[in-house]
């Protein structure tokens, strides 16, 4: 825990931590000898170093199996949180499992911001985040908002393919959130940003691949009434842009994956 509190911009010799932290994580994966908070803290230390030491990515993903391990932790913790209790209940203290879950979501978001090499195991992690969202969306607004924000960053990452987001259920999840009457304006902004990034990803693909992916997206969005939903935000786009992202496009057609 002490190591995990060291700021990422503090200069630490790699030989002082790299092998030891990796061994601690691998030892736990084999023998489960750490508490949840200790295991989470070891990962936190490594993820924070990734921003300044790019070679860590191969160790984190290939040697330590970040996607698989994080997915497993999210699934375990999801089953331990009492989702029926409301987040804002007066006097309610967060459980250890809820705190752990929040911590893992932060690391997932940070990793989606910084990792650069595609990996097939990402679909499992995307699926786990969508499962957390569906448990949290009624009573745990902060956690469900974090899930939406996580996929906004994932959609911006070149190493994340549209197919990863489709197979993992992220597209369904974002569409589910944007249709909710209780969504906050910031969350709607994240959802619109997600779809805008998806449209940009489509433009960057080769024609044959683009047509195939557009068909997958179009079939799903047509079935769910995507065009009608985006159109409903037409009058609110300027307000959402002013209050969330000044880079959000005001051109409605930019959000239509069917074009």
Q: Is residue 190 part of a domain?
A: yes
Q: Give me the number of domains the chain comprises.
A: 1
Q: What angle do CA 177, 170, 130 make, to 5 degrees?
A: 80
CA–CA distance, 98 with 104 (Å, rounded to integer):
10
- Domain of 147 in residue numbering reads as 118-255
Q: Is residue 32 part of a domain?
A: no
Token duo for residue 126: 């995307």
Give the Cβ contact number of residue 233 at 10 Å.
Answer: 16
Q: Is residue 105 part of a domain?
A: no
CA–CA distance, 99 with 77 (Å, rounded to integer):
10
- Separation of CA 110 from chain center: 8
CA–CA distance, 138 with 182 (Å, rounded to integer):
10
Model's pTM, two decimal places? 0.86
Tens-of-pLDDT digits for all 259 residues of the chain? 777 777 766 677 777 777 888 999 999 999 999 999 999 999 988 888 888 788 889 999 999 999 999 999 999 999 999 998 887 765 667 889 999 999 999 999 999 998 898 888 999 999 999 999 999 999 999 999 999 999 999 999 989 998 899 999 999 999 889 888 778 888 988 998 998 888 888 776 666 666 777 677 767 666 667 777 777 777 677 777 787 777 788 777 777 655 4
Contact between 166 and 108 (Cβ < 8 Å): no
């Amino acid at each position: 825990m002490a190591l995990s509190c060291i700021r990422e911009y503090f200069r630490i010799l790699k030989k002082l931590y790299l092998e030891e932290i990796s061994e601690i994580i691998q030892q736990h994966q084999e023998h489960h000898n750490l508490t949840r908070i200790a295991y989470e803290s070891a990962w936190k230390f490594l993820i924070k170093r990734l921003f300044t030491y790019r070679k860590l990515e191969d160790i984190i993903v290939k040697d330590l199996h970040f996607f698989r391990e994080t997915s497993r932790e999210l699934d375990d913790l999801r089953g331990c949180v009492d989702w029926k209790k409301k987040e804002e209940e007066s006097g309610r203290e967060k459980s250890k499992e809820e705190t752990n879950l929040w911590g893992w979501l932060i690391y997932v978001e940070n990793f989606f911001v910084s990792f650069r090499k595609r990996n097939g195991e990402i679909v499992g992690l995307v699926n786990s985040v969508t499962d957390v969202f569906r448990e949290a969306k009624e009573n745990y607004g902060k956690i469900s908002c974090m899930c939406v924000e996580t996929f906004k960053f994932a959609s911006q990452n070149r190493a994340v393919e549209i197919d990863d987001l489709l197979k993992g259920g992220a597209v369904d999840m974002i569409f589910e959130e944007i249709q909710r009457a209780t969504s906050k304006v910031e969350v709607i902004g994240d959802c619109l940003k997600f779809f805008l990034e998806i449209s940009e990803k489509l433009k960057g693909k080769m024609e044959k691949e683009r047509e195939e992916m557009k068909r997958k997206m179009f079939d799903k969005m047509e079935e769910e009434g995507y065009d009608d939903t985006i159109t409903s935000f037409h009058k609110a786009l300027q307000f959402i842009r002013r209050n969330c992202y000044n880079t959000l496009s005001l051109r409605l057609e930019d959000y239509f994956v069917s074009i």
